Structure 1
Amino acid sequence: MDQEEIRSRLRVFLDKGFDYEESLKSVNIQHDDVMKLKQKLEDVPIVPILHVKLCLFFLNGSSGNIDEAAKRIEKYYQIKTTSPEFFWDRNPESMELQRSFKVYQMASLPLAPNNCFVFITRSIDSNSKNFYFDDVFKTFMMIAENELMTHGPRYGSILISDWKGVSFGHLFRPSISSIMKSLDYVQNASPLKTKAVHVLNSSRLFQTLFSMLKPFINKEVYDVIHIHTPDMDYNEFFEKHVPRHCMPSDYGGDLPSLDELHAKNIETLTSMKEYYYLEELHFKSAIEKSSI
């Protein structure tokens, strides 16, 4: 498949979902600035030819700063092209991801009132030997990309991470390299701004991990991490952070259970199988371009 055919088939997916013109207005970004960003990256070897929607995501995530957006895009593709464990072979029907679905639940929730994406994750297998961090992170990135493509640019993202059932064994499963790469991606390459991280059912275990990672977490992210103990007041959480209508019933919310939301999420990812395959071919085309 040549590069033009790859781009043509990708456009079918990118042209679905949100309306580009409406999104420009909603995030107060000019089309001319999107084009300036696109042109600025045309001669960067590691970056493939970009759709305007992809440029808009990064420009919005960089508060309209073209130079900052260009920097993030370069970092984005640098990590994508050198991190097969996270961004290659993103097939929802693969043995690795099917295994991940069985031990770790994830779902995208309704948009929060502040126009943020909301994601929730939790471990459902206490046996740490079944936990593969790389596959979990890969799956989360697939979900986030799908939400962007469906809804368009938003104010940022809120992550809710439930630590109930996580053991010390889980902490020793990821490699140091994977942890550092994932932090680097989230902080310096993702098109989504991290507006809040809520850790539910925190314990001494999380405090241990948090203290180890603290030197590698930038201030912007560190300042929006909220740690909640198992005896937290969920009514207060709904009032201050994420409203009841955005939360699964397991947590006192109005949505279906996380089991149901997770199952629906797997269906969504599976329906996007071709997109993930084409997207990989697309960014690999830049590797070929830079090697010529």
Structure 2
Amino acid sequence: MDKNVSEEVQKKINQLRNWVDSQPHLPKDIDNRLILRFLHSCYYDVEKTKQTIELFFKVRDSAPELVNHRDPLSPAMQKAMKIAKVAHYEISGKRNIWFWQLNDPGLEQYDYIQDARMFFMTCDAWILSNEDLAEEDIVVMDAKDISLKFISKFNISVARKLAKYQEDAMPIRLKQIHIINAPPFIDKLFSMMKPFLKQEVTNMIHFHVPKSETLYKYLNKEDLPSDYGGSRPSMEELNKRVVDIVMDKRKIFLDENFWKTEKKGKKIKEISTTFRSLDID
């Protein structure tokens, strides 16, 4: 990928490469392609990129329940991938769509922590396999099967880590979040998440009630999956593409040390303490 970047950007990649290599706690499996993705997500600000890389690994270190035990062939993960479909695809204007669709009426099978674990896994698979650098990343979540029972499934600790990771650590340019088929009680569910979210992120969130067309103010209908009246493949097909990539990367997900900081002795405590201070901030 380096051959496709400008000389100025390459200099910044080299600068960050030297910095990463000089940090004894950072993992050794950070390649230049990942460095470029972080740099791009931070609009080529080197110091901001360093902070984002540090936070990326600190959040993951603080969340072993989300980045361990991620064998996509395990019964728990197979179950999660059957009830929640995800899709990642590019649309016009160099924008990415991140689509999440739950298919579990009554939330009888839904497991919030397992869903979050699947989120980390599918996002990692995307980062590992995708080389396009999008100008915008747009999240669309279908809440058609969400009920008040979701409150009993909710985990505050995991939600806090997930929010921190999505807001400040993922190497993407998050610009819009759309909740479609939003139920009347969505404000009650949103109130559980709002304390963890920055105002900048809450301003990105838009709710769309069932059968409304308000989503089309932000996205062309044609850019949606065929299930939603668009011209893209169905969620079933788009999800299969994601699952295929995950399976291709299965060996990586079986490695419990993948994208983990080097922790020796009291270093574990130091990293945990640092993350707590970042979380409070």
Query: Above 0.5 in TM-score?
Result: yes
Partner of 2:82: 102
**CA offsets 1:82-133 (integer angstroms, 9 cap, x no match):** 2122111222111221010122111123x12221221111111123241112
Gaps of 5+ in 2: 269-281
Secondary structure in 2 matching 1:204: coil
Residue number among 155, 161, 178 corresponding to 1:181 in the alignment: 161
Runs of 4+ in 1 over 4 A off after TM superposition: 288-292
Shift of 1:55: 1.0
Shift of 1:285: 6.1
- How far apart, in 2, do the equivalents of 1:212 and 1:108 lie? 26
Partner of 1:194: 174
Q: Which deviates more, 129-138 or 245-254?
A: 129-138
So what's the TM-score if we normalise by structure 2?
A: 0.85
So what's the TM-score if we normalise by structure 1?
A: 0.82
Residue number among 133, 140, 143 corresponding to 2:119 in the alignment: 140
- How far apart, in 1, do the equivalents of 2:220 and 2:182 lie? 20
Residue number among 113, 116, 119 corresponding to 2:95 in the alignment: 116
8 Å CA contact 1:46–1:78 kept in 2: the answer is: no
Residue number among 255, 275, 286 corresponding to 2:232 in the alignment: 255
Partner of 2:56: 76
Q: 1:208 to 1:190 in 2, by over 3 A?
A: same
One-letter amino acid of the counterpart of residue 64, structure 2: P
8 Å CA contact 2:2–2:10 kept in 1: the answer is: no
Shift of 1:169: 1.1
- How far apart, in 2, do the equivalents of 1:53 and 1:123 lie? 32
8 Å CA contact 1:45–1:290 kept in 2: the answer is: no
Partner of 1:3: none
Residue number among 66, 78, 82 corresponding to 1:86 in the alignment: 66
Q: How does 1:236-275 map to 2 (within 5 A)?
A: 237-238=215-216, 240-275=217-252
Gaps of 5+ in 1: 1-18
Partner of 1:37: 16
Shift of 1:215: 3.1
8 Å CA contact 1:115–1:155 kept in 2: the answer is: yes
8 Å CA contact 2:13–2:32 kept in 1: the answer is: yes
Among the aligned pairs, what percent are the same residue?
23
- How far apart, in 1, do the equivalents of 2:154 and 2:133 lie? 31
Compute the RMSD of aligned alpha carbons: 2.3
Partner of 2:272: none
8 Å CA contact 2:252–2:258 kept in 1: the answer is: no
- How far apart, in 1, do the equivalents of 2:63 and 2:261 lie? 15
